[in-house]
Amino acid sequence: MARTIVAVDWGSSSLRAALLGDDGRVIEERQSQRGILNVPAGAFSEVLQITCNDWLIDPDTLCLISGMAGSRQGWREAPYCPCPAGFDDLVGRLAWVEADFTRARIAIVPGMSCERDGAPDVMRGEEVQIFGALSLLGGAQQGRLVLPGTHSKWARVESGRLLAFSTFMTGEFYALLRTYSILSRTMPAEDGPLDTEAFTRGVAQATTSGSILGSAFSSRTLALFHRMREEALPSYLSGLLIGEELRAQGVDAADGMITVIGSQALTLRYELALLSRGIPARRIGGEATWRGLWQVAQRMEQVQ
Amino acid sequence: MARTIVAVDWGSSSLRAALLGDDGRVIEERQSQRGILNVPAGAFSEVLQITCNDWLIDPDTLCLISGMAGSRQGWREAPYCPCPAGFDDLVGRLAWVEADFTRARIAIVPGMSCERDGAPDVMRGEEVQIFGALSLLGGAQQGRLVLPGTHSKWARVESGRLLAFSTFMTGEFYALLRTYSILSRTMPAEDGPLDTEAFTRGVAQATTSGSILGSAFSSRTLALFHRMREEALPSYLSGLLIGEELRAQGVDAADGMITVIGSQALTLRYELALLSRGIPARRIGGEATWRGLWQVAQRMEQVQ
């Protein structure tokens, strides 16, 4: 039976929503700055109404939400699904919510957690992107995937199950070092366009270095010794940080193709870093979220 | 011939000075907040006069200065002495300066530089502490030494020569993460006393982790999962960072005793981190600077 799906990617700082046709095609997209940090307690239903009211008139509509809306500070806490876990585990742990403006069914997809070196790691929203990306890749059952961002996620999938993942605070470290550290003193006030030579030099430097705690200082000394132009230093620092992820993840060409998920602006540097290390990369864009949520809906129909 | 030595440790944010007897003993110490960042261009002589005028009346007095006073932003640039280098290389590259208030001779001891993974590394002041510490250890000719700080230095000495060293931005990263990052949100407003259990857990975590970019996030997730008290998180983060240095330096028990140079407050955590990994450590305090500068004076007498 054909059914309309409203897919919502509700993060910390923004909300993206899409109306999907019964074949998963995006009919319309909307965006709002009402991320969960901008939603007063108890007002989640109201914000959804403002953004998607006309899409949710038909009571047969299914609305699926991924991201931080399922966190303790969100609409309703959807407990993390522990790794290793497959797509069906997510579908089996949906957290249902009520909205007084509609009789449409609304569910939050849980995030995932794993143990890493004796400490927990968590994601919310990326798990839907990962399963969506695998579907867009023709139903791939295995692979290594990276989702760049303030907190990047590296994930490993085997036999269709997410085995484990690691969070790297790469985007946040860049902002801290760029804005507040001694390294900023030898940098221009604004980041210019990416200097790909300086960037790949940073990637290479990080690969042979033991830690970003040490390699970061080279951004200062290369400037002091006039061995790098100050305009190139932000690109170099970015390369150091992304190269550090590659080193810590131990990725090499033997791992095969790495899938980089995200907008073009975010993923370009990761593709470049991987390719500079001889590692093939491919990109899947923001459509991974819509495909992932649509797949959840499909799976629910099969189960029922 | 007996001679009085005025030893000055002139850093970025403070100035420390000592009057040394002809046996190297400290007769008197003084401190000032007039680090080089607080000295207007051209006013270095004047600041030295304010701090040490009465010590510099005798024209036969020798004043030796180490630290950032020899940087481009200092009194006079004393070009870095490249590694590997011994104590005599430092003595041979003193940069002499004039002060109009005294006829005493005044020289700046140069910093040192090395190449590390294809990028330069630099120190100013720590080289004097290192040679001073070796002297205080009975004239040791080899060893691994660490000088904790905003920018920690790890150094390796063999046959009395400083072979190479590495800078780690450990203190600065701690301040950035503690003050501005998402990790600060689950931490108390003020650091309490050191929680040694949380600290050594951080050290152990860093040792098995691939990068602080990843392990830092565990400070947040351990709090989210109520697996560490919020009051313990600053100690844990400190352990993660210092443990990262140990991991990157690849130190283990086979390296023998590590010498930690600095004030007790700074070195305590390094000694604890090393001991928790089964690595013996000993501490040399701030007297290392005075001994190093006194040794420079002794060596000059021998050469003349």
Q: The complex's ipTM?
A: 0.93
Asked whether residue A173 is domain-assigned, the answer is yes
B71 touches chain A (CB under 8 A): no
B116 touches chain A (CB under 8 A): yes
- pLDDT for residue B1: 46
CB contact under 8 A, B173 and A213: yes
Contact call for residues B236 and B198 (beta carbons, < 8 A): yes
Residues A126 and A37 in one domain: yes
Rounded to 5°, the CA angle B74-B79-B84 comes to: 130
d(CA A114, CA B50): 61
Residue B49 neighbours by CB distance under 10 Å:
16
Residues A27 and A88 in one domain: yes
CB contact under 8 A, A176 and B176: yes
- pLDDT for residue A253: 82
At B120-161, the pLDDT tens digits run 999 999 999 999 999 999 999 999 999 999 999 999 999 999
- pLDDT for residue A265: 84
**Residue A56 distance to chain B (closest CA, Å):** 34
Residues A119 and A222 in one domain: no
Name the helix (H) or strand (E) containing A164. strand A161-168
B167 touches chain A (CB under 8 A): yes
Residue B185 neighbours by CB distance under 10 Å:
9
d(CA B178, CA B80): 33
Token code pair at residue B124: 């100013």
Asked whether residue B164 is domain-assigned, the answer is no
Residues A81 and A181 in one domain: no
Strand residue runs (E) in chain B? 5-10, 15-20, 26-32, 62-66, 81-82, 85-86, 95-97, 105-108, 112-116, 119-123, 143-147, 152-158, 161-168, 258-261, 281-284
Residues A277 and A295 in one domain: no
Q: Which residues contact A117 (CB under 8 A, 6 or more apart)?
A: B205, B208, B209, B215, B218
Contacts from A96-102 at CB under 8 Å and sequence distance 24+? A97/A44, A97/A45, A98/A45, A99/A45, A99/A48, A99/A49, A99/A56, A100/A45, A101/A45, A101/A49, A101/A53, A101/A56, A102/A49, A102/A53, A102/A56, A102/A57, A102/A59, A102/A61
CB contact under 8 A, A213 and B180: no
- pLDDT for residue A303: 67
Q: Is B74 helix (H, G, I), strand (E, B) or coil?
A: coil
Q: What is the DSSP string of A213-262?
A: HHHTTHHHHHHHTTSS-GGGHHHHHHHHHHHHHHHHHT--GGG-PEEEES
* Amino acid, res. B227: R
Asked whether residue B39 is domain-assigned, the answer is yes
Residues A253 and A295 in one domain: no
d(CA A13, CA A35): 4
A184 touches chain B (CB under 8 A): no
- pLDDT for residue B2: 52
- pLDDT for residue B303: 67
Strand partners of residue A123: A112
Asked whether the predicted pLDDT for residue B268 surpasses 90, the reply is yes
**Residue B111 distance to chain A (closest CA, Å):** 13
- pLDDT for residue B266: 85
CATH number of domain containing A198: 3.30.420.310
Token code pair at residue A150: 């303030």
CB contact under 8 A, A249 and B210: yes
Contact call for residues A181 and B176 (beta carbons, < 8 A): yes
A123 touches chain B (CB under 8 A): no
Please give the residue range of the domain that contains residue A110.
5-137+287-303
d(CA A117, CA B211): 12
Contact call for residues B87 and B114 (beta carbons, < 8 A): no
Which of B120, B210, B250 lies closest to A222 in CB terms? B120
Nearest to residue A189, comparing CAs of A242, A230, A236, A219?
A: A230
Asked whether residue B300 is domain-assigned, the answer is no
Asked whether residue A158 is domain-assigned, the answer is no
Q: Alpha carbon B173 to chain centroid distance?
A: 16
Which of A151, A181, A211 lies closest to B211 in CB terms? A211
Which ranges in B12-164 belong to alpha helices (H)? Answer: 44-52, 87-91, 126-136
d(CA B300, CA A129): 68
Nearest to residue A85, comparing CAs of A156, A149, A146?
A: A156
Cis amide leading into B84 (omega within 30): yes
Give the orientation angle of helix B233-249 with respect to helix B170-180, to 10 degrees: 150
- pLDDT for residue A256: 85
Which of B120, B182, B205 lies closest to A117 in CB terms? B205
Residues A295 and A264 in one domain: no
B222 touches chain A (CB under 8 A): yes
Name the helix (H) or strand (E) containing A301. helix A287-303
Residues A64 and A116 in one domain: yes
Name every chain B residue with its beta carbon within 8 A of the beta carbon of A114. none
- pLDDT for residue A1: 46
Which of B121, B205, B245 lies closest to A217 in CB terms? B121
- pLDDT for residue A252: 82
CB contact under 8 A, B117 and A205: yes
Asked whether residue B87 is domain-assigned, the answer is yes
Residues A132 and A190 in one domain: no
Q: Which residues contact A298 (CB under 8 A, 6 or more apart)?
A: A24
Residues A126 and A173 in one domain: no
Interface mutation vs chain B, best among A122, A211, A236, A240, most B CBs within 10 Å = A211
At A66-95, the pLDDT tens digits run 999 999 989 999 999 999 999 999 999 999
Residues A265 and A215 in one domain: yes
* Amino acid, res. B49: Q
Token pair 């569910």 is at which residue? A107
At A36-65, the pLDDT tens digits run 999 998 999 999 999 999 999 999 999 999
| CA distances, A240 to each of A154, A185, A218, B164 (Å) | 17, 18, 10, 22
Asked whether residue A272 is domain-assigned, the answer is yes
Asked whether residue B131 is domain-assigned, the answer is yes
B64 touches chain A (CB under 8 A): no
CATH number of domain containing A37: 3.30.420.300
Domain count, chain A: 2
What predicted TM-score, i.e. pTM, was given to this entire model?
A: 0.94
Residue A203 neighbours by CB distance under 10 Å:
27
A105-108, strands of its sheet edge to edge: A26-32, A15-20, A5-10, A62-67, A105-108, A95-97
Mean pLDDT in each 10-residue stretch from start to end of chain A (304 residues)?
Answer: 85 95 93 93 95 95 96 94 95 96 96 93 97 95 95 96 97 96 94 96 94 97 95 98 96 88 92 95 95 94 72
Interface mutation vs chain A, best among B72, B121, B169, most A CBs within 10 Å = B169
- pLDDT for residue B133: 97
CB contact under 8 A, A151 and B210: no
Nearest to residue A204, comparing CAs of A244, A233, A168, A234?
A: A244
B245 touches chain A (CB under 8 A): yes
Residues A54 and A122 in one domain: yes
Rounded to 5°, the CA angle B32-B35-B40 comes to: 110
Contact call for residues A87 and A299 (beta carbons, < 8 A): yes
